[in-house]
Structure 1
Amino acid sequence: MAHANSSYTCIFVTTLFIFMIASPRADAAGTSVALLVRVDQSGKGDYRKIQDAIDAVPSNNKELVFILVKPGIYKEKIVVPADKPFITVSGSQANSSIITWNDSGDIFESPTFTVLASDFVGRYLTIQNTFGSGAKAVALRVSGDRAAFFGCKILSYQDTLLDDTGRHYYSSCYIEGAVDFICGNAASLFERCHLHTFSEADGAITAQRRESPSEDTGFTFLGCKITGVRTAVLGRPWGAYSRVVFALTYMSNVILPQGWDDWGDSSKQSTVFYREYKCYGPGADTKKRVQWSEKLTDKEAEFFLTKNMIGGKSWIRSTPTRFRKASTAISNNSTGHA
């Protein structure tokens, strides 16, 4: 069953514009000076653990805090609380700053790294859940508004990235898993990301959870690359109104010809919004796609080809250009933080 693409896009634009007006960027995001806090396992920084550095940020924080993570393997289960916005956690290279844990079970409790705060930035980190197959095992949960990730590696098997709620931006990230490994109900743009699936049959890359036509949520993958081990589908509907767009994306032959799955519920075929636009590669052939997915026209695609779809120009911030050292109020060196 076909959709009226233009009406869906119009509703999405209108509701998102209203949402942007109602939640303007906070003042701290406009500054270029950040408080520098160093995490170093060797004891040469302000803290040995990433969580200790986060815990030291005051509640209702109003300034940019830049937590620089020196190379190492950090065996931590990390939470950025909702009352601590404007935090950046940054490594220098994703392959050298590794945050790892191995919980499983509840999708909201298993994550290695949980972001509840708004205006969070993650840079050049590996965030992984090493539990493996057999259970839900989230590496990264993002439940705060205006969160951005640059050059990160997000690794697990099932439900790797719980892209839960809020507006999010992922740039040049590597995300791998096998089952529904990008899931949730955020409004997110994935730009120049590499998605790698371990699925051995028909596992879904995405499981987007939009549950009503009034929700301004959905995943857009722009200029991305999809590779894998055997075969997979692009997505299946966690929510009845699931919305996913792949644009200008390379798809290897790992993508099955049908492209999408209705998760055993044919009624969702008339409510989902699954679209592709000028994708390429052996997996991008749409001749045998399910009839309830469609291509976007050039006009319809315009909205999905910029950061406007998440209001990103108002909140995605560049790296601070100036830093000041942490005072004793936030810096406690490494003593007592072994």
Structure 2
Amino acid sequence: MVRGTFMMNLVFIALYAFMAISNSQAEGTNTSTSAILITVDQSGKGDYKKIQEAIDSVASNNAELVFIRVKPGVYEEKVMVPADKPFITISGTKAADTVITWNDSGDIFESPTFSVLASDFIGRYLTIQNTYGAGVKAVALRVSGDRAAFYGCRILSHQDTLLDDTGRHYYNNCYIEGDVDFICGNAASFFEKCHLHSLSVGTGAITAQRRMSPAEDTGFMFFGCKITGVKTAVLGRPWGTYSRVVFVFTYMTSAILPQGWDDWGNSADQLRTVYYGQYKCSGRGATTSKRVEWARDLTSEEVEPFLTKDMIDANAWLRSAPTSFKKKALSANDTKN
């Protein structure tokens, strides 16, 4: 690419760095000094026109930070970050302007629009959507790698919108929308200042957490979030015997039904091992007086383990934005694109 284009890209990166300052505390204390810069631009003024092409250009077993800058546009493609390509960041500048979309349904591991299998992945300011529609499993985002973080993203579908599959994950200021089990899986995840919007018109569950054993240190933790809906919904139902979901300082509108949770056909004996709780939540939907008897209104002592990101060891891996960028050396095959 010509030098002028590269300099223009650096201007956009400076804008990104400015936005990242507001999230500095959320991004942890690990400092990232430099990253390889790759630009995706549908107009042909970047290094690649497709996001998947940019990912494919990263070497297997990559050990360097790679920052894939995606220019505004609607990218109709199915994207996968394979397990052998860690340390990748994919970033737009505004989620509403950078849309990754596909239309697929069926198997939850095959239908996702965007799949993250690698560790140490970061997604920023992206809309990730599956437009297949209601009534079937249609995953927008699958996260199966360890140490993954998402900032300011919009994740949209109906059933199983976010397959939060396995690993330690962090979501900050994200908007997540769906109608049935739209945050599901068995990851250990901390959702901070996220907006959960239910499209359910009955008793659709927001979460379906799949913790299967008390030995598994997994669960969904929602801190300072907001829940809205088009009609009515429940907070969750147990996909796993030891399913664990906790809401803290979360605003719940009247979209949340008084019972709060659904038993998914489990007996009272089976539900004894489920851990569903809330602490100091607000809004008409947060009232606990009519909650199911196996839900917990947590005390200050009980909630303490869920008040920080220590449950996902965040200080060990959440990293701040790079402070400098270097151009990726293009191969002969790259220059033909």
How big is each residue's C-alpha offset from its partner over 1:298-334, in whole Å with a ceiling of 9 and x where there is no partner?
122222111111100110111111111111249925x
Q: Superposition pairs for residues 65-104 of structure 1, below 5 Å? A: 65-104=66-105
Identical counterparts, % of pairs: 70
The answer to whether the aligner puts 1:164 opposite 2:179 as a matched pair is: no
The match for 1:114 is 115
The one-letter code sitting in structure 1 at the alignment partner of 2:290 is K
The match for 1:4 is none
The match for 1:13 is none
User: Would the aligned equivalents of 2:32 and 2:320 in 1 still touch at CA under 8 Å?
Assistant: no
Q: Superposition pairs for residues 117-196 of structure 1, below 5 Å? A: 117-196=118-197
User: Would the aligned equivalents of 1:36 and 1:326 in 2 still touch at CA under 8 Å?
Assistant: yes
The match for 2:26 is none
CA RMSD of aligned residues (A): 1.2
The match for 1:323 is 325
How big is each residue's C-alpha offset from its partner over 1:235-282, in whole Å with a ceiling of 9 and x where there is no partner?
000011100000000000000000011101123311100010000000
- Does the residue aligned with 1:53 lie in a helix, a strand or coil? helix
Q: Which is further off, 303-312 or 242-251?
A: 303-312
The one-letter code sitting in structure 1 at the alignment partner of 2:77 is E
Question: Against the structure 1 CA distance between its residues 136 and 330, is the aligned structure 2 distance closer, same or farther, given a 3 Å change threshold?
Answer: farther
* C-alpha separation in 2, matches of 1:212 and 1:32: 40
- Does the residue aligned with 2:318 lie in a helix, a strand or coil? coil
Q: Which is further off, 297-306 or 163-172?
A: 297-306
The one-letter code sitting in structure 2 at the alignment partner of 1:314 is A
How far 1:108 sits from its partner (Å)? Answer: 0.5
Structure 2: give runs of 5+ residues left out of the alignment: 1-29
The one-letter code sitting in structure 2 at the alignment partner of 1:276 is Q
Normalization by structure 2: what TM-score?
A: 0.89
The one-letter code sitting in structure 1 at the alignment partner of 2:109 is F
Question: Higher relative contact order by CA 8 Å / sep ≥ 6: 1 or 2?
Answer: 1
The one-letter code sitting in structure 1 at the alignment partner of 2:106 is G
User: Would the aligned equivalents of 1:57 and 1:330 in 2 still touch at CA under 8 Å?
Assistant: no
Which of 300, 303, 327 is the equivalent residue of 2:302? 300
Which of 254, 268, 271 is the equivalent residue of 1:269? 271
How far 1:182 sits from its partner (Å)? Answer: 0.1
The match for 1:215 is 216
The match for 2:3 is none
Question: Against the structure 1 CA distance between its residues 84 and 58, is the aligned structure 2 distance closer, same or farther, given a 3 Å change threshold?
Answer: same
Structure 1: give runs of 5+ residues left out of the alignment: 1-28
- Does the residue aligned with 1:313 lie in a helix, a strand or coil? helix
How big is each residue's C-alpha offset from its partner over 1:108-130, in whole Å with a ceiling of 9 and x where there is no partner?
00000000000000000000000
Number of residue pairs matched by the alignment: 307
Q: Superposition pairs for residues 218-229 of structure 1, below 5 Å? A: 218-229=219-230
The one-letter code sitting in structure 1 at the alignment partner of 2:97 is S
Which of 286, 289, 292 is the equivalent residue of 1:287? 289
Question: Against the structure 1 CA distance between its residues 56 and 330, is the aligned structure 2 distance closer, same or farther, given a 3 Å change threshold?
Answer: farther
* C-alpha separation in 2, matches of 1:196 and 1:222: 15
Write out the 4+ residue segments of structure 1 that deviate beyond 2 Å after TM superposition: 329-333
The one-letter code sitting in structure 2 at the alignment partner of 1:133 is A
Normalization by structure 1: what TM-score?
A: 0.89
The match for 1:204 is 205
Question: Against the structure 1 CA distance between its residues 330 and 139, is the aligned structure 2 distance closer, same or farther, given a 3 Å change threshold?
Answer: farther
* C-alpha separation in 2, matches of 1:244 and 1:145: 19
User: Would the aligned equivalents of 1:262 and 1:268 in 2 still touch at CA under 8 Å?
Assistant: no
The answer to whether the aligner puts 1:37 opposite 2:67 as a matched pair is: no
Question: Against the structure 1 CA distance between its residues 270 and 93, is the aligned structure 2 distance closer, same or farther, given a 3 Å change threshold?
Answer: same
The match for 1:51 is 52
User: Would the aligned equivalents of 2:128 and 2:141 in 1 still touch at CA under 8 Å?
Assistant: yes
* C-alpha separation in 2, matches of 1:182 and 1:159: 6
- Does the residue aligned with 1:276 lie in a helix, a strand or coil? strand
* C-alpha separation in 1, matches of 2:172 and 2:204: 24
